[in-house]
Chains A and B, each alone.
Chain A
């Protein structure tokens, strides 16, 4: 069973914020939440990760629910270069990374 579930696809207008949701209802207390994105025919690229608190970096923000059963990746101003498949992943104590099927983000000019 997939440890994370995400919508298959989402659309956003350029220059607008994007909120990409992820459900991980079976997350354990020590699992870290990671987000990656992948362009066609390339390896995934790290975006952000967190455990309990919300996180910000130059690429995005990660909002984690208080019960940790869901999280949201926030792109503050979508650009055409943000069009990609976004994966929400759990990393466990055994260094295992559990990938779902991801969300394909389309950015509309």
Chain B
């Protein structure tokens, strides 16, 4: 079945370490997104990409980095510069175009910094 796969589902990290969260989609979507969610809060946009080899910062990009070398993949690296990385991270994708329907989400990755 088509969908978005995020891994790992749970991740523990020591302070000062970088960690990469994987996001893969087989929906042939051009646009992909990374969101961060803190407990009891809504979703905040970290980075997004509308096309391969191009991406833009969202509202809270500091301390994060991404790449988009393949259409199917949009990994997110949480760097040691991110001051408070413990959160629930969600990857999403959609087709390009104004009325092309919904945003598809992965199941999320929960990162805990020890």
Contacts and interface: CB of A to CB of B under 8 A. Distances in A.
Interface residues of A, number: 22
B42 A97 contact: no
B42 A43 contact: no
Contact of A41 (B50, B88, B96, B103): B88
Nearest to B37: A38
Interface in B40-65: 41-45, 48, 50
Nearest to A4: B42
Contacts of B96: 95
Interface string A48-59: 010100000000
B41 A101 contact: yes
A97 B33 contact: yes
Interface string B93-114: 0101011011111111010000
Contacts of B44: 99
Contact of B103 (A30, A36, A51, A102): A36
Contacts of B43: 44, 87, 99
16 contacts: A30-B98, A34-B103, A41-B88, A41-B108, A43-B106, A45-B105, A49-B102, A51-B99, A87-B42, A91-B98, A95-B31, A95-B50, A97-B45, A97-B103, A99-B44, A101-B42
Interface of A: 30, 32, 34, 36, 41-46, 49, 51, 87, 91, 93, 95-97, 99-102
